Amino acid sequence: MARLKNTKLARQIHERVKKDGSPLVLISRSALKAQVARFRKALPRVTPYYAIKANSHRDILKVMVAEGTCFDVASIAEMDAVLEAGAKPSQIIFANTIKPVAALKEAGLRGVDLMTFDNECELDKIAEHAPGTRVLVRISVPNVGSIVELGLKFGVDPADAISLLIKAYKLGLRPVGVSFHVGSQCLRSENYSEALEIAAIIARDAHLKQLPFEILDIGGGFPIMQGADEEDPFDHMASVVSSELDRLFEPHIQVIAEPGRFFAGPAGTLITRVVGKAIRENKHWYYLDDGLYGTLSAQVFDHAKFEYKTTREGRTRLCALAGPTCDSFDTIARSVEMPELDIGDIVYVERIGAYSTGSATTFNGMPMAKVVMVP
């Protein structure tokens, strides 16, 4: 889909580029708020902890604080960013299962006392450097069909979960439950169903052994559409999750989740301009002022498949898009339908608010996209 039919949107894009230049990432406050509201309506029992690795821009964090969400952080830098935005320590989960000793000490100083772990060595570290912390054991669950598989690097075998919770208790920590992640951009509701069944078995076993089971962390993975023609699976998936939670877990168990992409993704729009053009492979190549080392790094690290659009009208032809760096790897797409473009023409990408600016660099000294909050 290369042609922009919405003339109002085209005018807004050109006005914004005239004011702020390019490359440019627009983050919509209303879109962020709408996604939070949608999540809460679909999963009323689940408290969202925004996974700020998706996009930790300070203005996004301020919106999330204002919306009353909690936060999932993976480092002290992320923790400090959330606290500076106005969140309370009680609203934070330190959800990286492997944490440096220094980070454990600093978390304690900041009053953050909820963490995940998935191995004995980590338990020993937490007990020594963050005594009395509440801990969730992260278990490995099926990631079948998820775009980014997360079960290889993280998660203990569910059969070992209870023994680790017992060890946590003996070390003076406060074991409070289980966490899992079904894989990023999960497209199968069955992943959640299977993971919840596994967690419920652990919860029952914990009860029999008189271990506390107060919190269930169902992680992230909630999908978003990246193309206009894609079917949105979220509502069906949320309905399955909500039903299974009520079937398997008593009402007193607190359920939390760590949506990142689901909140930030739909809120972002990347605007780039053509800085060069050539004929190669019998087609036009257009060189943009952002690429795979910049905002479009999401194609590399997040396996994202974006839809490239332009504000120019006209008959479309097959073309290629490339980034501004002098690395041949920085080739964005080789087969895109576009009208013939000129230097300065705009190419833009919607739904790119997650896992994009966070992994961007200034390779070759190319500037990263300016981030601008819009209504």
Buried b (16+ CB within 10 A) or exposed e, 46-85: bbbbbbbbbbbbeebbbbbbebebbbbbbbbebbebbbeb
Q: In angstroms, what CA-CA distances link 243 with 34, 189, 237, 247, 292? A: 23, 12, 10, 6, 40
Give the Cβ contact number of residue 369 at 10 Å: 24
Domains belonging to the chain, first-starting first, are: 7-26+268-374 (2.40.37.10), 30-265 (3.20.20.10)
What pLDDT is stored for residue 2 in this prediction? 43
What pLDDT is stored for residue 146 in this prediction? 52
What pLDDT is stored for residue 1 in this prediction? 40
Q: Which residue in 70, 121, 319, 326 is the catalytic one?
A: 326
Q: Establish whether 70 is a catalytic residue.
A: no
Q: 300: helix, coil or strand?
A: helix
Q: Which helix (H) or strand (E) holds 250?
A: none
Burial grade of 343 (CB within 10 A; 0-12, 13-18, 19 or more): exposed
**Cis bond upstream, residue 223 (ω within 30):** no
Taking alpha carbons only, the member of 16, 111, 20, 31 closest to residue 63 is 31
| CA 50 – CA 116 distance, rounded (Å) | 16
* Segments of the chain with pLDDT less than 50: 1-4
Provide φ and ψ at 163, rounded to 5°: -65, -35
How is residue 344 written in tokens? 């300065």
Where do runs of H (alpha helix) occur along 4-119? 7-20, 29-42, 58-67, 76-84, 101-110
What pLDDT is stored for residue 100 in this prediction? 97
What pLDDT is stored for residue 221 in this prediction? 84
* CB contact at 8 A, 225 and 351: yes
Which one-letter amino acid corresponds to residue 76?
I
What pLDDT is stored for residue 231 in this prediction? 73
Q: Indicate yes or no: pTM above 0.75.
A: yes
Buried b (16+ CB within 10 A) or exposed e, 222-252: bbbebeeeeeebbeebbebbbebbeebbeee
